[in-house]
Amino acid sequence: MKRLWLLFSQTVTVLIAAYFVVGTLKPDWMGARGSRSGTVALFEAPATDATAVPQGSFRLAAKKSAAAVVSINTSKAAPGSPHSDDPWFKFFFGEQGNAPQVGLGSGVIISPSGYILTNNHVVESADEIEVILNDSRRARAKVIGTDPDTDLAVLKIELDRLPVIVLGDSDTLQVGDQVLAIGNPFGVGQTVTGGIVSALGRNQLGINTFENFIQTDAAINPGNSGGALVDTSGNLLGINTAIYSRSGGSMGIGFAIPVSTAKFVMEGIVKDGQVTRGWIGVEPNDLTPELAETFGVKVTKGVIITGVLQNGPAALSGIRPGDVITSVAGQTVANVSELLSKVAALKPGTASEFSVQRGDNVVTTNVVPGTRPQPRRSIQR
């Protein structure tokens, strides 16, 4: 009985093995159906979705935001020479070219009404401004207003069905967050580069009056100015503005204006034609050991006031030379850039509390800021 059972089990095992071998190597012998050739494999490769996004890809973020990033071409008439009509001047120096000066930059559509954010230096002094959309449409742009203090400008175009970028929250950014820079570097066409946030709150760079830059190592090159810095969801975090470079190309240090600043500037320009900022009428300086010793100051942090405008807001509140401002409206200040930014954010005509170190004493005073005078180089069209 055991022999019969052993023989039976061996036979079944051999038949099953043979079945799988034949089914794999010669499925047509088994009369399989289902394919155009009349055969079907027992082990098929899993189907792949052609639309699936590879892991780690930022294609969706780029697709979402790139349509709202535009190229900006500017032109300015060549400066005329006072001797251009002098025949002797022409004889010695020849005909002087009168070709217009051209410029290149980028911009971001932030409203279906056609408002575009870009850098002031992209459009400053331009006679003509042409905007080229990612879908190849073109339009002449009008300058609604500029803000040289932050190097921002607002343009407007008249087109329908405009793609609009989604505004993100630059205040929640952290060093190490991934970002994408989108623009038209060197005029080669729209380009997307990637990197991380390298630093936050960069100031004292001598680029703008009010500096609070996002620093990134995403490649930013000439022509990227005014373009978008976006997060991995495609939301706008900043306006690309400047690079640190010894060669003219990207060296991994780029700067963008936070969208929080850009939004404040845009709203002021669209609503009032200009940006309204607070002003107190002082001459501030970073606190150094030498200045501290000169004025007999005991603190090591803050901004020392070396001059006060007569009858200005600060003078009327009792602030005087030698005072060290340590906080504005409850926010500490450590340098001149921070003081300028915090005072500029104050509402003119509304009193704000300032903490001042005067010798060995801490003085608290209420200052009613005035309106910061507009820079002379601001342009309006």
111 lies in the same domain as 185:
no
Angle at 367 between CA 361 and CA 372, to 5 degrees: 130
The pLDDT assigned to 289 comes to: 85
The pLDDT assigned to 2 comes to: 61
* Buried b or exposed e, range 218-244, using 16+ CB within 10 angstroms: bbbbbbbbbbbbbbeebbbbbbbbbbe
Last residue of a domain, one of 246, 272, 298: 272
264 lies in the same domain as 286:
no
Confidence of residue 4 (pLDDT cuts 50, 70, 90): low
Residue 133 within any structural domain of the chain: yes
The pLDDT assigned to 64 comes to: 93
Distance (Å, rounded) from C-alpha 299 to C-alpha 289? 10
The pLDDT assigned to 83 comes to: 55
Confidence of residue 48 (pLDDT cuts 50, 70, 90): low
Residue 142 within any structural domain of the chain: yes
Residue 223 predicted with pLDDT over 70: yes
Residue 293 within any structural domain of the chain: yes
259 lies in the same domain as 282:
no
Q: Which residue bears the tokens 């060995």? A: 360
pLDDT in tens, 261-270: 999 999 999 9
248 lies in the same domain as 202:
yes
pLDDT in tens, 125-169: 889 999 999 999 999 999 999 999 999 999 999 999 999 999 999
309 lies in the same domain as 361:
yes
265 lies in the same domain as 283:
no
Angle at 278 between CA 275 and CA 280, to 5 degrees: 145
Last residue of a domain, one of 272, 298, 325: 272
User: Count of alpha carbons within 13 Å of 61, Cβ hemisphere only?
Assistant: 22
The pLDDT assigned to 47 comes to: 55
Residue 146 within any structural domain of the chain: yes
Last residue of a domain, one of 272, 300, 334: 272
Active site residues: 121, 151, 225
349 lies in the same domain as 333:
yes
Instruction: Domain count for the chain, please give it.
Output: 3
Least confident piece of the model among 59-68, 83-92, 258-267: 83-92
CATH at 309: 2.30.42.10
The pLDDT assigned to 201 comes to: 86
Find, among 287, 296, 265, the residue nearest to 336 by Cα.
287
Residue 353 within any structural domain of the chain: yes
Residue 194 within any structural domain of the chain: yes
The pLDDT assigned to 361 comes to: 86
pLDDT in tens, 178-205: 999 999 988 888 999 999 999 998 887 8
Residue 94 within any structural domain of the chain: no
Region 351-373 average pLDDT = 90
- Residue 185 is classified by DSSP as G
Residue 85 within any structural domain of the chain: no
213 lies in the same domain as 291:
no
Higher pLDDT among residues 92 and 26, named by residue:
26
Bridge-partner residues for 191, per DSSP? 183
Tell me what the pLDDT averaged over the chain comes to: 83
The pLDDT assigned to 40 comes to: 44
The pLDDT assigned to 305 comes to: 92
Distance (Å, rounded) from C-alpha 343 to C-alpha 367? 10
282 lies in the same domain as 258:
no
260 lies in the same domain as 288:
no
User: Count of alpha carbons within 13 Å of 346, Cβ hemisphere only?
Assistant: 28
266 lies in the same domain as 345:
no
pLDDT in tens, 272-291: 888 889 999 999 998 888 88
183 lies in the same domain as 224:
yes
CATH at 243: 2.40.10.10
Q: Domain range holding 183? A: 170-272
